[in-house]
Amino acid sequence: MGFGTDLQGKKSHEALLRLQDAEIKLLENIKRCITIKAECDKKYAASLATMVQQAQKLEQTEFHSCCGVFQAWECIVQQTDNFAQLLKNNVEELSNKTLEKLNLLISEKKTSKKTYIDERNRLEYEFNKIQDELQRNKQEYIRLVDRAKVDKARFEDIQAKGRVGSKLDDAKTKYQKTTMKLHKCHNEYVLSLHEVGSHQKSYLTWILPKFLDCHQVTQELLVQQSKKILEDYSSLTNFSRPECRDIFSAMEVAVEDITPDSEYTSTFLAENRSNPLQKVQFDFDSKILLDYQGSITANKLLVNDLTYEALLHRKSTVGEELSQLKQMLEDKERSHKDLKEELCKLTEQLFQTKDEPVTTSYGEVKKNTELSEKEMGEIRATIDKKQVVYDTVQRELDAVDSNPPAALPDFPDPPDNMSGDILFAAGTRSTLGNIRNKLKGLKIPGRERSEKPAFYEESVIEENGLNGCVSLSPSKLEDEEWFHGVLPREEVQRLLKEDGDYLVRESRNKRTNEVQYVLSVYWQGHRHFIIQYGEGGWRFEGNSYKTIPELIQHQHECGTQVTSKSQAILHKPICREDWELRNDDICLEMKIGNGNFGEVYKGMYSPENLTVAVKTCRDTLSEDQRKKFLQEGRILKQYDHPNIVKFIGIAAQRQPVMIVMEYVAGGALLTFLRKLGKTQTPKQLVKMCEDASNGMAYLESKNCIHRDLAARNCLVGEENVVKISDFGMSREEEEYTVSDGMKQIPIKWTAPEALNYGKYTVMCDVWSFGILMWEIFSLGIIPYQGMSSAQAREKIESGYRMPAPSGTPAKLYDLMLDTWKYDPTNRPRFAEVHTRLKDLCDSL
């Protein structure tokens, strides 16, 4: 019996946490009691000393030598003096050494509990992470299988119609690319299956049991320390009087009965035993390939000319990792052997003597031995997992003997009697005609060839400084639907999806800060070309034109390559979307606040005669800061809900860039609570909580993590409707891990797992929502009043939760406590939170 075999399940884990909490509370209570006892004995010793002093004031008489009463009293006074001195010495040792040991033990007990929680969470996180990776690979696999079917059907359809030229080439290229991605994804999915199966086996058979056994040894050592402290107390408070002897004997017997080795193996294990965790079978999902016709075989790696190099690289990488792990295991095994030999020697000494130094050394070595076994188990498990991947890849590579087959058959050449150029022209004429409608009104003036090669292409690094760039604003460029102003590269690339998609945007030279204009094109990836100005016109590699619209119209209509190196051709202009507003349509009226990236104004959106709130972005911000500024708008534009602040659009034709949202007249919820909170009834306050939970439930359904939910980031609209606002820290994913530290994190509103591990899920928002409810019912008081952020964090880790503000309904405080459960899996989801608040509001 032991932790590793009997306490693997969730019920046992919770019982272990409760037990450790109870032990810590017990030790803290013992500390308070010993302190009281020491104070009492100290006063008692002082009283006895006073009595002795009083007795010694009696002068000697002639009767001392003959009167037994005098002699008896003299003896009593002398022995009382001896007893008072003994008592004083015991009190000093109890107050200093024993209490110091107890303080250290309590600290170690708390550290042990935190270490257990952190390590258990780490092991579960790693197990969940590898399963999540399997699911991501599976979903990507499903998507690529569907895409492959579509691309194949499209290619075969064009081929069957006898068409050749760019359409056939495009379809062929797209089919090849999709097939390559599919085959690589297939391999990743298969390897993930092998990897997760191996990891699970190691997790259930070695890693988790050894971790629990190691924790058991730690707890037993702490029990040994507890026993020693109680022995010290028993010894120092034993007065050896006949009337006290039975009491102290009973205390000694009780203390002696403590046996660390069997502390947890009797009642505790019997009451909290759970069955060992069972294996989950991870199988290849054959349903993915039901409608797929190709060379893929379920649960088998594909080795062909598209995947061969990637598999060779994977084999090499895993082989290097295996070598390092095996060397690490050898070092650990040597160290473990030395520990076992030392433990055997100490075990023999322990049977011969019960000296405290031997007992302490034995416990430490036993603990280190268990820890060493646990570490070796984790390394072996990792080796097994890597070996499965290595052997699987090696076996399949050996089968092809460095001569991988072709993934796709050869494609037939076009008929000899057809010209590819003619087909291209015929196939694109109608499309170009449609595009001309979007480019209507543009005239091509006479052209003058510039002999100066002023064009540069860049595809990875943002536009660099070039000779000849000027801040000249081309005529009527802002009127063109395909001109997207100062929208950043990252936002632009989201709009370009197919080969030939293009738009024009404004950027700045990083060295000179001069305005320059960039043609962004999708052509086998995103490409960005700086439009050069010189000799009175705008150009790429060919002729120059007086205006950029004329240059773009020529490139589009003639199908000319932008550059010979890129071979990019302009097919389809990407026009501004409805949410891309014109700066001239927005009138800023009054400053109403400050944001992280600029000022916030009340303004007017003239096309709809609508009062709006406008967040501006300072011109001095870096490219990365502008991206973060626009992230809030990109997230908000997808949402439409009465309890989410409404997004109007983004104005980015020129600086300053602006995010335009609905104007909520009531202002920030925090300000409202502090000014008018006292006028609100409990039902009205609950209704505010319900509104906020409704908005958060909607965000949860959209896989949005807000990460900064607080009263300061909510707004109050008409009829006191609460709206969630400020999405500057939000992320659109089920789980987000902070990679750039914990700067500017609102600690008092943030869940423990986010603070400890940087890991955010919607359950972190649930914790923050509990703080928001507390803010609402405290009428805007800062949470954890009187504590610094660090103190609040430490108190939370120790189990502290804020008491209910005055006037808080009991059911609502119960909901607060549920949202503040330390384990995020025990917190309610927002749908449940909203239901409970709605029921509570209806009952008031």
376: nearest Cα among 325, 414, 428: 325
Q: Which of 659, 630, 665, 631 is nearest to 647 (CA)?
A: 659
Q: Which residues contact 364 (CB under 8 A, 6 or more apart)?
A: 221
Residue 430 sits at φ, ψ, to 5 deg, of -65, -35
What is the DSSP-derived secondary structure letter of residue 731?
A: B
Amino acid identity of residue 229, one-letter, is I
**Chain centre to alpha carbon of residue 128:** 13
Alpha-carbon distance of 439 to 483, in angstroms, equals 12
> Could you tell me the CA-to-CA distances from 390 to 200, 298, 398 in Å, in that order?
18, 19, 12
Closest to 698 (Cα-Cα) out of 630, 640, 748, 624? 640
Q: Report which of 607, 647, 606, 610 is spatially closest to residue 630, judged by C-alpha positions.
A: 647
The span from the CA of 9 to the CA of 120, in Å, is: 12
* Per-residue tokens: 435: 């595009």
Token readout for 725 is 């606002």
Place of tokens 């009087």: 241
Residue 803: asked if its preceding bond is cis (omega within 30°), the reply is no
The C-alpha atoms of residue 595 and residue 600 are separated, in whole angstroms, by 6
DSSP string, 198-243: HHHHHIIIIIHHHHHHHHHHHHHHHHHHHHHHHHHHHHHT----HH
Q: What is the CA radius of gyration of the chain?
A: 38
Q: Give the containing element (helix H, strand E) for 532.
A: strand 526-534
Distances from the Cα of 155 to the Cα of 180, 304, 358, 412, 423, angstroms:
15, 21, 80, 12, 16
Helices (DSSP H) in 161-207: which residue ranges?
166-202
Contacts (Cβ under 8 Å, ≥6 apart) of 721: 642, 643, 691
Q: Which residue in the list 6, 232, 501, 708 is annotated as catalytic?
A: 708
* Spatial contact of 231 and 413, defined as CB atoms under 8 Å apart: no
Contacts of 686 by beta carbon, 8 Å cutoff, 6+ apart: 809, 812, 837, 840, 841, 844
Cα–Cα distances (Å) from 431 to 216, 365, 420, in that order, read: 74, 80, 17
Q: What are the φ and ψ backbone dihedral angles of 659, each rounded to 5 degrees?
A: -100, 125
Q: Do 753 and 764 touch, CB atoms closer than 8 A?
A: yes
708 labelled catalytic: yes
DSSP β-bridge partners for residue 539: 532
Vertex 455: Cα angle to 449 and 458 (nearest 5): 160
Question: Considering only CA atoms, which of 843, 801, 833 is closest in space to residue 709?
Answer: 833
Cβ neighbours of 284 (radius 10 Å): 17
CA–CA separation, 159 and 154 (whole Å): 9
Residue type for position 184? K
Residues in the chain: 844
User: What tokens does 609 get?
Assistant: 């005669």
User: Which two tokens mark 407?
Assistant: 């993934």
CB 759 within 8 A of CB 680: no
Residue with tokens 């040792």: 93
Q: How far apart are CA 281 and CA 200, in angstroms?
A: 10
Q: How far apart are CA 753 and CA 824, in angstroms?
A: 8
For the annotated catalytic residues, the residue numbers are: 708
